[in-house]
Chains A and B, each alone.
Chain A
Amino acid sequence: MNNSQKFTATSFTRSKETREKWVRYLMFVVTLLMALPVILLISYLVHKALPVLSLEFITDIPRNQMSAGGIWPAVLGTIYLVALSLMVAAPVGVMAGVYLNEYAKDNWFTRLINLAVINLAGVPSIVHALFGLGAFVLFAGLGESVIAASLTLAVMTMPVVITSTREALSAVPMSFREASWNMGVSRWQTIRGVVLPNSVSGILTGVILEVSRAAGETAPIMITGATASLTFRQGETVYYLLGEKFMALSYHLYYFSTQWTPPRLLLDEGTGEMLPMTQAAIEHAEAIPYGTAVVLLGVVLLFNSLSIAFRYYLRTHRKW
């Protein structure tokens, strides 16, 4: 073999190149296919929801036996759920995460707790719902209410917060802690002064993801307090008491797409007569579940992009 032959393409290298090219195309197409459902889903939802989509849809109360008007009570219910479950799950979860990562010795008890946390994260949400029904609604006597549903959601999302807190904490190098301990600084002072400031964005990322999950869950709330329709008067400020039943976006969507039927007759406010729904009104009513889905999706995406922003901040502001 002389030198010029050494670098010319043989049939072997040619087939290798062809294979390389095909594999790359294949991967590219598969990646595209992955993005396709998301694009299709969103554009289909938005298209179907167009007749109702407006700011008023979010801020108005349902009217005409829910065949018109907005979904504000459901939006507000979801905000209640998220805020209340966050108030319980975030402090408890973060503290448990800090304990497990910073203080706990590696013994059978810690391992038992770890196992419990992992298993809790894997429990199906409908089982959490049953637990919530038993523990909060019946045993604690909270009844079907916002507070019972929020606590159920908190129990369900706590393992996620614990796990993400632990991950954020263990990303802080051990040498920082040792350097601090060596100077006679206590564990808590080390955590407060060095560990937490450098893991707080990671912890927040986990907490926000938890929020977006809580906002979208349906099963845990449908038997612990969510209700399909509450009647609100025109001009009345919508609020829930902690012990009251409530509406929520996810349950609203479930109810609308499975059980709701347009009313046959509606009260005409001008004449005071009962009149059949017009075709346009029916079409409008049918767009409501899609509008609800778009709003719910928007809420979840909003939280997710917040967490992405935090992750980005974390990457660009790394201090070591």
Chain B
Amino acid sequence: MVNDSAKIRVENLKAWYGQREVVHGISFDVHPNEIFGIIGPAQSGKTTLLKTLNRTLEFTSGSRMQGLVEMDGQDVYNIKDVYGYRRRVGMVAPLPVGLPLSIYDNVAFAPRSFGLKDKDTLDELVQKCLEQAALWDEVKDRLDSLGTKLSGGQQQRLTIARALSHQPEVLCLDEFSIAIDPVTTMKIEDVLMELRESMTIILVTNLIQQARRLAKRTMFLLNGDLVEEGDTEKMFSGDAANPKTNEFVSGAFG
């Protein structure tokens, strides 16, 4: 499984909340500039897995992890500048979170926090991120109104714009579409296809068809175990190696 060109390499990753082990030693690679799908029912460890990737699991009290997470061949748990590292990984949560700041400040918050003060550069960055998230046209005339007053779908795109604001190399989306309508979902999916040119995308999704539309390779997690990882098309055409995968994608459980 060792792949030197991997953007992210995870080996034998385990994670605990208190005494409860929720991820039981999984290993996988994510290639540069691909969309990597992660599917699985609730409680399968998907969100925890993402949290270990950007080192935010440590914010949950009582949690710990074990195993290797590498980005560009570097052990991320040995990186001293943890804030700098988190900036390299963009994270989009399942429910849209508009910070109670203006739309502009929502996007400019992270760049400002690591020292970007120049007004013109900020303006440019905010516009670029909002454009990339397909939100610019809808909000360009009211950048100073509250981000929390946007509709759910707009807030989710604002969340994506915010995740792009720190110019990440990897973008993780955690079930980004559960709170938004199908039209907006399709809009964001188009955005993702474009973003793939410039970054690596990890897409956790409950919509099996979404993984099929977007991801080249997909990983199926079940109760914290890696059931199967491989070519999406193969996995979804009823040709999966593990019968459980076939059952899940055909809707027999989950």
Interface residues of A (CB under 8 A from B): 105-106, 175-186, 189, 193-194, 197-198, 319-320
Contact = CB atoms under 8 A, between A and B. Distances in A.
A183 B146 contact: no
Q: Which 6 A-B pairs have the closest CB atoms?
A: A319-B100, A184-B86, A184-B87, A183-B110, A182-B91, A320-B148
B163 interface: yes
B253 interface: no
Interface string B144-180: 0010100000000001001101100000000000000
Contact of B83 (A106, A184, A198, A320): A184
Given A105-B61, A183-B87, 20 more contacts: A175-B95, A177-B59, A178-B56, A179-B99, A179-B162, A181-B56, A181-B59, A182-B56, A182-B90, A183-B163, A184-B84, A184-B85, A184-B110, A185-B109, A186-B113, A189-B113, A194-B100, A194-B101, A319-B148, A320-B100
Interface residues of B, number: 30
Contacts of B148: 319-320
A176 B148 CA distance: 11
B86 A183 contact: yes
Contact of B163 (A178, A182, A186, A193): A182
Contacts of B159: 179
24 contacts: A106-B61, A176-B99, A177-B59, A178-B93, A180-B109, A181-B86, A182-B56, A182-B90, A182-B93, A183-B86, A183-B162, A183-B165, A184-B83, A184-B110, A184-B114, A184-B166, A185-B83, A186-B83, A186-B113, A193-B109, A193-B113, A197-B100, A198-B100, A320-B100
A108 B148 CA distance: 37
A interface, over-half SS = helix
Contacts of B98: 320
B62 interface: yes
Contacts of B71: none
B139 interface: no
A193 B112 CA distance: 10
A194 to B, nearest CB: 6
B52 interface: no
Given A185-B83, A185-B113, A180 B99 contact: yes
Contact of B97 (A176, A185, A186, A189): A176
B85 A179 contact: no
B57 to A, nearest CB: 11
A185 B109 CA distance: 9
A176 B106 CA distance: 11
B179 to A, nearest CB: 12
Contacts of B109: 180, 183, 185, 193-194
Nearest to B109: A193
Nearest to A193: B109
Contacts of A177: 59
B84 A106 contact: no
